[in-house]
Structure 1
Amino acid sequence: MAGHGDGLASYKAAATDISVALCTFNGALYLQEQLDSLLRQTSRPTELVLSDDGSSDASVSIVTEFARAVGMRLVVAPTHARLGVGQNFNLALLLCSRQYVALSDQDDVWLPDKLATALAAMHEGEARYGTSCPLLVYTDLTVVAADLRPISSSFMRSKGLCNPSPHDALTILLTQNFATGCTMLVNRQLLERALPIPKEAVFHDWWLALVAASCGHVLYVDQPTIMYRQHDSNVIGIDTMALSLKRIIAHPASHLEHGIAMCTSCARQLDVLESRLTECHAATAAIEHVHRVKEAIACGGVRSVGRLLSQHVRRLGRFRTATLYLLCMLKGADPRP
């Protein structure tokens, strides 16, 4: 495989106890660039775990040839029916064997110090909270076009996001995710509690952040470690607040319907989170907080708003918070299982 000779020397330079969970679906167009960025890591991964979601292109062969050429341990998930992004990552994460796991999309490019930066933050967290504490590290991203031309130097700022205080992290995560999966590094202690990812989880990265904030800690590094590529096939891309507002104004009915459906999905996610936290003997205060917010969203109407206020529930920014309260007020009560 051309171009890997120089990368192989650096690949053998600094091993770490990290698995990379890579999920693919017809990603051949940009996949090689992502794999090559693994070779340029100043702290290299020990293991690459691939779960392909039924690609009809050369995605699997690109990854297997890459691993063979550079001598990287590769674990390939068994062939399976189409799972979707969340359950595809669930399968990949279940197969990872190392102490730390980095989540990888198929179309980004990692900056050379991506893993070293996240691992340093992880070790700082372990020194502060103990090695038995579930931890999740995430970072900012540089947003780029399909040809890697810069669009925004900060994904977080372009989305109007910020890292909340540790005290507020769980309260915000109950109704809004702010941690991007492709930047995440998680430890084994978190995976033992978070896996398997339930089908009710809205997004896999949101679920991981919820469990981390409930049982341990979410840690943020305020610097980009990834070039986050935007193209026509993105599952989740970037929308500025202004663009989102324009779309809502242009199609208010469809956005209202979508927002109400998302509130219902959020309540279902919190329901399975409450069960998972009970199973892993999380702090009673966290379980009760999750339960009360779940019930507040599920009841709908004006009562929903009152209950959310009593739990100090908010999202990042006044507009997002007001939208949440409005949607919960407008939706009816969710049916009981």
Structure 2
Amino acid sequence: MVKKMQNLTVSIALTTYNGMPYLKDQLASLESQTKKPDEIVIYDDGSTDGSYELLRDFVDQSSIRVVLHRNLDNLGYNKNFAKALSIATGDIVFICDQDDTWHANKIEKVLSIFTKQPRTNLVIHDLDICDGTMNPIGEKKLERINLIGDPMDCYCTGMATAVRREFLSLCLSNYSPPVTYDNWLHKCAQLTSSKYILGVSLADYRRHANAATSKTLINSAKKVTWLDSFLHAARGSTLDYLKYEREKNTRSIEWLASNKKALHQKYHIDSDRIEKISKNISETNIIYDARINIVKSSGLKRVIKALTLYKNGGYTSFSGTKSLLKDIARL
């Protein structure tokens, strides 16, 4: 039986590491929600700048239940988030970074999607991109994705994501780096056709020099121009990217195989469909192997290999001509 919105419990999973310049604003935005969370789970990764002491004060003062932990050793953001997510108890778990701020209606808006769409397991919303001092640059995240021509279904930003806890537990049962935790959750949701992109901005996305993803064009604090978009498209494929995507696919096949029973019983995905999805992923990995071989080559040999793959339909499961050009861009 699907719970009504007012009956869904909410956890926020927040991780911190030397976030003193930003934490107060973020914590204030969590407390200002029109729909209050039932708990905030915080894992500090060994901060040395006073962040942990600020968090202890927050625990004492907040009207919300706060579960605060501190790692003795620095784990890095992937393992730290996995720990925070694994102990969250709410029906819906919201992922939270230390350096952004949430709009007051974020929880309320996202819960309405989970309520209206019971087969949706993961929701991601739009963002207002801001500079390091939280001045909006006049561009939203989904607009940015459109501008640079990336596939919309690849939109994956952890701090804009919320997931059903039951599904989250299933995803984390097979999770381990190097695949990033948010990439993994989104991949599992895509495999089960249960991801929902909400085209409403519900947070201010701070882009600053210390942010883990600030150097990429998709997350830049500067407004994207036509030239930026062109250079991004022409930059070329990298071995690291192709190997990462192949690894994510391999783990997806393993996840589907090890969770067949749960996927069938809870998410109505039968064995035939799992086999079909796994077969498609395996075929895609064969193409990834071919693309990796292409990018390792150089000069005319690289062009010939790429054109041969294109002629044989190898790029149809990617972005067609765009992917072809990326593979031969760096000769």
TM-score class normalised by the smaller sequence: 0.7 to 0.9
Match of 2:71 among 57, 75, 79: 79
Alignment match, 2:88: 96
- The answer (yes or no) to whether the contact 2:309–2:315 under 8 Å persists in 1 is no
Q: Give, in whole Å, the separation in 2 of the partners of 1:297 and 1:158.
A: 26
- The answer (yes or no) to whether the contact 1:163–1:178 under 8 Å persists in 2 is no
Q: 1:248 to 1:135 in 2, by over 3 A?
A: closer
How does the TM-score come out when normalised to structure 1? 0.76
Q: Give, in whole Å, the separation in 2 of the partners of 1:311 and 1:226.
A: 36
Q: Kindly indicate whether residue 251 of structure 2 is the aligned counterpart of residue 272 of structure 1.
A: yes
Q: 1:323 to 1:69 in 2, by over 3 A?
A: farther
Amino acid at match of 2:228: L
Q: Give, in whole Å, the separation in 2 of the partners of 1:39 and 1:289.
A: 45
Alignment match, 2:131: 145
Alignment match, 1:313: 317
Amino acid at match of 2:138: S
Q: Secondary structure at the match of 2:201?
A: strand
Alignment match, 1:243: 228
- What is the CA distance between 1:262 and its match in structure 2? 1.4
- What is the CA distance between 1:268 and its match in structure 2? 1.3
**What percentage of residue pairs aligned between the two structures are identical?**
22
Q: Give, in whole Å, the separation in 1 of the partners of 2:122 and 2:90.
A: 15
Alignment match, 1:187: 164
Alignment match, 1:19: 11
Q: Give, in whole Å, the separation in 2 of the partners of 1:163 and 1:135.
A: 26
Alignment match, 1:68: 60
- The answer (yes or no) to whether the contact 1:267–1:295 under 8 Å persists in 2 is no
How does the TM-score come out when normalised to structure 2? 0.78
Q: Give, in whole Å, the separation in 1 of the partners of 2:147 and 2:125.
A: 12
- What is the CA distance between 1:163 and its match in structure 2? 12
Q: 1:309 to 1:135 in 2, by over 3 A?
A: farther
Unaligned 5+ runs, structure 1: 1-13, 250-254, 331-337
Alignment match, 1:297: 288
- What is the CA distance between 1:50 and its match in structure 2? 1.0
- What is the CA distance between 1:261 and its match in structure 2? 1.4
Q: Secondary structure at the match of 1:228?
A: strand
Q: Give, in whole Å, the separation in 1 of the partners of 2:66 and 2:311.
A: 49
- What is the CA distance between 1:56 and its match in structure 2? 1.2
Q: 1:318 to 1:161 in 2, by over 3 A?
A: farther
Q: How many residues align?
A: 292
Amino acid at match of 1:313: S
- What is the CA distance between 1:234 and its match in structure 2? 1.1
- The answer (yes or no) to whether the contact 2:45–2:76 under 8 Å persists in 1 is yes
Q: Kindly indicate whether residue 252 of structure 2 is the aligned counterpart of residue 260 of structure 1.
A: no
Q: Secondary structure at the match of 1:193?
A: helix
Q: Give, in whole Å, the separation in 2 of the partners of 1:41 and 1:178.
A: 25
Alignment match, 1:6: none
The CA RMSD over aligned residues, in Å, is 3.1
Amino acid at match of 1:121: I
Alignment match, 2:266: none
Q: Secondary structure at the match of 1:48?
A: strand
Alignment match, 1:208: 185
Amino acid at match of 2:176: P
Unaligned 5+ runs, structure 2: 1-5, 264-273, 295-304
- What is the CA distance between 1:73 and its match in structure 2? 1.7
Match of 1:198 among 149, 172, 176: 176
Q: Kindly indicate whether residue 86 of structure 2 is the aligned counterpart of residue 108 of structure 1.
A: no
Match of 2:51 among 55, 59, 68: 59
Q: Give, in whole Å, the separation in 1 of the partners of 2:257 and 2:143.
A: 35
Q: Give, in whole Å, the separation in 2 of the partners of 1:162 and 1:218.
A: 22
Amino acid at match of 1:152: G
Q: Secondary structure at the match of 1:159?
A: helix
Alignment match, 2:297: none
- The answer (yes or no) to whether the contact 1:181–1:205 under 8 Å persists in 2 is yes
- What is the CA distance between 1:228 and its match in structure 2? 0.4
Q: 1:80 to 1:32 in 2, by over 3 A?
A: same
- What is the CA distance between 1:307 and its match in structure 2? 10
